[in-house]
Structures are given as structure tokens and as C-alpha cells.
Amino acid sequence: MRTKILLISVLLLAILASCVPARQYQDEKERRQNAESEAAKMRAELDQTKTSNLELEEKIKLLKKQVEVLEKDTTMTGISLRKMNSQYDKLNVLYEQLNKKYDDLLRLNASETQKISSELQLTQDQLSRKEAELKALENELNLRRQNLDKMQADIALKEKKISELEGIIAKKESIMKALRDNLSVALKGFENNGLSIIEKDGKIYVSMDETLLFASGSWSVNAKGKQALNNLSDVLASNPDIFVMVEGHTDNVPYRGSGQVKDNWDLSVMRATSVVKIILSNSSVNPNRITAAGRGEYVPIESGNNSEARQKNRRTEIILTPNMDEFMKILNNQ
């Protein structure tokens, strides 16, 4: 529209210029130049306006798209909002119902609540008692465990001692068996000829009849008896850990003697010391290993009063005992 106006103005000026004088022509020319300058300026503004118009149109398109998106989002948001409102209303109704039921329960179950509270308190009291009992049981268990540990330690120590004792016993039994065998060999010519060898209670008993050693009423050892005792002393010399008890025994016939030997007690002692002295004639036998004892008539092996029983009771027993010092030392250390 502005372009048309400018063109018409230029044409009018050209017509007027041909009709006016030179001064007027000059003025008209200046006006024309001014008009052209103004027209150029207006064209530039027009171009700028067109550019701005295009930019605005692009912005309008962009805004329209944004508006469409917003309208869609608004629609979805509205739907979601209405849905949430509906859910809220339902939840609100449900809340009111539950709240009413809760109030009803509070009113109706006040006594039941008190009963439950009492039962809960009772249960808590019982639990406290049980906890106290459990603590006491734990303490007792710990004490018993400590006692058990001590007992197990004691048992282990005793087992060790028992093992040591069994080893000593086995060793002693081996020694005694070897001693029994050696005695049988050394006294072979005398065994079952007035001499017997038996084992009893861990000891070896060498029993010699009166006839093998002494004449009736005498305490002097005869030659045969000395030979048997010398053979016995050789075995004792090779077994230094064996203790020897020599016991003299008589029958129950009263002995009528004189001097220092007056009765069966004296006779049994004298016979025992006579045997000991012959054994000690072997210098390899230590005297501190040997004990002499008279038992008189009071430890018979036969209870009869006939001559056969009396003969058996008139005897000398040499009792051989292993050295149990090591054994007793272990026992005493328990």
C-alpha cells in the first residue's frame, strides 16, 4: 500500500516539474530527492518489517504447537486429576468407614482391651521370671561346664597315671614272671620235694617244708636246705628290686625249750633268721631288702590236728615282693 502511494507521489512531482519555473523546479527537485530518500528509507523499513513478520510467523507457529501440546497435557492432566479426585473420594469414604469402625471398636472393646492388657502384663511378668530362670540356668550351666572341664582335666591326669601304673604293673608282672621262671630253674631239684613255688596277690611264695631245712625242734639249716637257699640267693642277687620276707611257721604242738628259745614263737623267729643269714652269705644280696619274721603257730595252712596237717604247717615261707616304690609314688601324687 505504501509503495503505491510513493509511486503516485513521484509521478505528480514529475508533472509539476515540467510546468513550473526553474526555482520551483529546483525546490521540486529537492523535494523529489527527499521523497526518494524517504522512499528508500521506507523500503528498508519495509524489508525489515517483512523479515520481522516472518520471524513472528515462525514464533506464532511454534507457540501454536506449544499450545497444542499444552492443551493435550492439560487434557491428560485433567483426566488424571479427575481420576485422582475420584480415588480420593473413595479413599475418604473408606477412611470414614474405618474411622467409624475404630470408634465402635474402642467403645465396644474397652473391657477386652483391659483384659488383653492384663494378659500382656501377666505374660511380661512370666517372661521376666523365665528370663531370670534362664539366667540362673546359664550360670549353673557355666559352673557345670567349668566343673566338667576340671573333671575332664582330672580324668585325663588320672588316665595318664593309670597308664603309667599299668606300665609299671606290666613291668612288674614281667619281672615276676621272669623271677618265677628263674626260681623254677634254680630250684628244679627241690620243687615238689619239700619245696613249692606259687604266685598269689602279685607275690611269689617259696614254701619250704621243715624236713627240707631243719631237724625237728632245731633252727640249724641242714646241708640240703643250705643248697636250696644258696640257689635261691643267686636268683635274688640278679633281681635287686625284689624285697624278701622270710616267715617261720610252726605247728600247734607246744614247744618246750630252754634258754632264749622257749616256745613256738621263739622257734619260728630263730628259723627265719637262720634262713636269712644263709641268704645273706651271698654278698650280692643287700640286707636292707630282707625281713625276718616269726609267725609261730598262728598262720596255719591246714586246720586239722593230725600229723599230716601239722607237718604241712611246719614250714618256712620266703615271700618275694616287687619294689612298688615307683607305683606308690604315682598313687601318692594323685
The answer to whether residue 127 scores a pLDDT higher than 90 is no
| SS3 assignment, position 209 | strand
Look up residue 173 and give its three cell numbers.
608282672
Residue 10, CB-side half-sphere exposure with 13 Å CA sphere: 14
Query: Which one, of 201, 236, 206, 229, lies nearest residue 324 by Cα?
Result: 201
User: Residue 309's CB: how many other CB atoms inside 10 A?
Assistant: 15
Which pLDDT does position 44 carry in this prediction? 83
Average pLDDT over residues 75-92: 80
| SS3 assignment, position 188 | coil
Which pLDDT does position 72 carry in this prediction? 85
Percent of the chain predicted with pLDDT > 70: 89
Phi then psi for 122, rounded to 5 degrees? -60, -45
> For 11-25, 26-40, 74-88, 156-170, which range has the lowest pLDDT when averaged over its residues?
11-25
Do the Cβ atoms of 61 and 53 come closer than 8 Å?
A: no
Distances (CA, A) of 10 to 37, 64, 168: 12, 43, 153
Query: What CATH architecture is 174-332?
Result: 2-Layer Sandwich (3.30)
> For 6-10, 222-226, 321-325, which range has the lowest pLDDT when averaged over its residues?
6-10
Helices (H), the chain: 2-19, 22-108, 110-186, 210-213, 223-237, 264-279, 307-313, 325-332
Rounded to whole angstroms, how far apart are CA atoms 234 and 252? 34
Band of residue 11 on the pLDDT scale cut at 50, 70, 90 = low
Which pLDDT does position 278 carry in this prediction? 98
Do the Cβ atoms of 197 and 204 come closer than 8 Å?
A: yes
Phi then psi for 296, rounded to 5 degrees? 60, -140
Percent of the chain predicted with pLDDT > 90: 38
Return the domain boundaries, the chain: 1-56, 174-332
Rounded to whole angstroms, how far apart are CA atoms 191 and 116? 98
Give residue-wise pLDDT tens across range 152-197.
887 887 788 788 778 878 888 888 898 899 999 989 889 888 999 9
Average pLDDT over residues 203-228: 95
The answer to whether residue 112 scores a pLDDT higher than 60 is yes
